[in-house]
């Protein structure tokens, strides 16, 4: 069972005792990501994720890595639109020191000017690297198309200009504002002694001051006609990403959406994989996914197609979306999709790291954790008719947003516009 506790300063702790494990996964997740930044400091959350590893109150840069990796552990971090997470997986006997290091870099980073100046060039090179990778770049093109000047449309890492323009003071101010104890969750999964671990956390972090973190700008996805954007690049294939508004994090139909994305393009048994790749050989990479945020979401179909087969592939994708919306799905594919998702969930939660991330994000976003039993009960209530109803709500051709990266001819662009009805 999950055990949730809260310190007096608002810091939340969620633990799950997984018996007979040799590892413990530990994460510190903060409600601070790309959508919490003003335009002038776009990329601050991601920059901060980098800079904390340069040193903290009690640990030097080399010690942070060596003291965890030196005992066989793994240490990493990620930044998303609404959270930043610092995490580690270590042999159980090294938990105490690993927790002390992770808590130190998350809540007590040095952030000195010399490190900030040096890391700017590293991050700018990272931005260039992803811009050179069409499969990554097409995501930025779509998000800009959908969300425009809103922080969600400006890219997680920011731009070379915003990164180079950021100062130590900017990062310190962002950290002070958002890394409040009430805006963070510590998650721990593995064979643990809960009371001892809680005492350790209290000793290290109960002195953090009580304060409220700022919120984010609400999303606005008003759209009356389909849109498209082409990023002209010399590529061996055209990368396509078709996106439309999806569901928010806590939406009641989230598990229905998981089934819909699986049926359309979640695995090798999916409709798009079968029709676009297997039967016609129009793409190597083809799939469907959903992203859930606190007040909005994204439903997307992606593909990498032969330059000459763009229109044929896109037309087929739209045809399959229309079929699901009009005709629904078969009982067989519905059951296979449900069984696949349940199986993937059960397999994933056997791992201490996956389990830690699962429950920590739940607590950060919803202030609770759904048990596996509760999730399975949610899936059991869904019918195949529910999936068609959801498809009819989500697949709205007036709200299609198509991002293309590659060399698109005028004739192809004309045909794409015709399919989109614009």
Q: Is the pLDDT confidence value at 1 over 90?
A: no
Q: How far is CA 157 from CA 125, 126, 151, 237, in A?
A: 11, 8, 11, 25
Rounded Cα distance, 372 and 368, in Å = 13
Give tens-digit pLDDT for 354-399. 999 999 999 999 999 998 899 999 999 999 999 999 999 999 999 9
Tokens linked to 280: 């016609």
Q: Is 126 a catalytic residue?
A: no
| Cα first-last separation, the chain | 53
**What is the spatial distance between Cα 385 and Cα 330, in angstroms, rounded to a whole number?**
10
Across 83-107, average pLDDT: 97
Cα 278 from chain centre = 29
Burial label, 307 (beta-carbon count in 10 A; 0-12, 13-18, 19+): middle
220 has pLDDT over 90: no
Looking up tokens 């999936």 gives 387
Q: For 25-35, what is each residue's pLDDT tens digit?
A: 999 999 999 99
pLDDT of residue 186: 98
Are 83 and 31 spatial neighbours (Cβ–Cβ below 8 Å)? yes
- The CA distance from 286 to 314, in Å, is 11
pTM metric for this prediction:
0.93
**pLDDT one-digit tens code per residue, 58-79:** 999 999 999 999 999 999 999 9
Task: State yes or no: pLDDT of 221 exceeds 90.
Answer: no
Q: If you search the block for the tokens 């002390």, which residue do you land on?
A: 100
CB atoms within 10 A of CB 286: 25
Residue 33 makes CB contacts below 8 A (sequence gap 6+) with 45, 79, 80, 81, 82, 83, 84, 156
| Active-site entry in 49, 81, 119, 143 | 49
Query: The domain 2-205: what is its CATH number?
Result: 3.30.830.10
Q: Quick one: fold of 227-420?
A: Cytochrome Bc1 Complex; Chain A, domain 1 (3.30.830)
* 283-292 β-sheet, strand order: 227-232, 401-406, 237-245, 297-306, 283-292
Tell me how far the alpha carbon of residue 11 is from its chain's centroid: 23
**Mean pLDDT score, 94-112:** 97
Q: Residue 254: pLDDT band by 50, 70, 90 thresholds?
A: very high
Q: What is the pLDDT of residue 394?
A: 97
- Please write the tens of the pLDDT for every residue from 164-199: 999 999 999 999 999 999 999 999 999 999 999 999
Is 227-420 in the same CATH topology as 2-205? Answer: yes
pLDDT > 90 in the chain, percent: 95
Instruction: Report the C-alpha gap between 353 and 343 in whole angstroms.
Output: 17
Q: Check residue 217 and give its pLDDT.
A: 87
Measured distance CA(150)–CA(271) in Å, rounded: 34
Q: Are 304 and 133 in contact (CB under 8 A)?
A: no
Average pLDDT score over the chain: 95
Reported as a single tens digit per residue, the pLDDT across 333-362 is 999 999 999 999 999 899 999 999 999 999
pLDDT, tens digit, for every residue of 79-94? 999 999 999 999 999 9
H or E, element range at 402: strand 401-406
C-alpha–C-alpha distance, residues 68 and 91, integer Å = 10
Residue percentage of the chain with pLDDT more than 70: 100
Name 64's Cβ contacts closer than 8 Å, sequence gap at least 6: 53, 55, 56, 75, 101, 105
Give the residue extent of every domain in the chain.
2-205, 227-420
């Amino acid at each position: 069972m999950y055990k949730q506790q809260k310190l007096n300063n608002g810091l939340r702790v969620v633990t799950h005792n997984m018996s007979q494990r040799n590892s413990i996964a530990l994460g510190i997740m903060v409600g601070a990501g790309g959508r919490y930044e003003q335009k002038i400091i776009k990329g601050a959350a991601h920059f901060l994720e980098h800079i904390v590893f340069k040193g903290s109150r009690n640990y030097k840069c080399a010690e942070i890595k060596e003291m965890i990796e030196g005992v066989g552990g793994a240490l990493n971090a990620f930044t998303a639109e609404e959270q930043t997470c610092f995490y580690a997986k270590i042999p159980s006997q090294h938990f105490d020191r690993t927790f002390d290091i992770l808590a130190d870099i998350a809540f007590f980073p040095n952030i000195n000017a010399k490190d900030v100046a040096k890391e700017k060039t590293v991050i700018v090179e990272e931005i260039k690297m992803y811009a050179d990778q069409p499969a990554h770049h097409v995501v930025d093109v779509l998000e800009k198309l959908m969300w425009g000047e809103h922080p969600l449309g400006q890219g997680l890492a920011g731009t070379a200009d915003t990164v180079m323009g950021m100062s130590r003071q900017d990062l310190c101010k962002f950290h002070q504002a958002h890394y409040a104890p009430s805006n963070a969750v510590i998650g721990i999964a593995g064979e643990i002694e809960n009371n001892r671990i809680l005492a350790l956390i209290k000793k290290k972090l109960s002195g953090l001051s009580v304060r409220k973190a700022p919120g984010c700008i609400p999303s606005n996805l008003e759209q009356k006609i389909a849109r498209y954007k082409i990023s002209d690049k010399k590529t061996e294939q055209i990368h396509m990403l078709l996106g439309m508004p999806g569901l928010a994090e806590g939406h009641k139909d989230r598990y229905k959406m998981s089934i819909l994305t699986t049926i359309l393009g979640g695995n090798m048994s999916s409709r798009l994989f079968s029709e676009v790749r297997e039967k016609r050989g129009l793409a190597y990479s083809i799939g469907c996914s959903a992203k859930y945020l606190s007040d909005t979401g994204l439903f997307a179909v992606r593909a990498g197609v032969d330059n000459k087969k763009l229109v044929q592939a896109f037309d087929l994708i739209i045809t399959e979306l229309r079929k699901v919306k009009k005709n629904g799905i078969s009982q067989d594919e519905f059951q296979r999709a449900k069984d696949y998702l349940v199986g993937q969930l059960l397999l994933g939660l056997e791992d201490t790291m996956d389990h830690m991330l699962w429950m920590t994000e739940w607590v950060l976003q919803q202030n609770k954790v759904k048990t596996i039993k509760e999730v399975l009960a949610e899936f059991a209530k869904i019918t195949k008719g529910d999936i068609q109803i959801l498809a009819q709500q989500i697949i709205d051709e007036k709200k299609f947003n198509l991002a293309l990266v590659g060399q698109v001819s005028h004739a192809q662009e004309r045909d794409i516009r015709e399919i989109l009805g614009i």
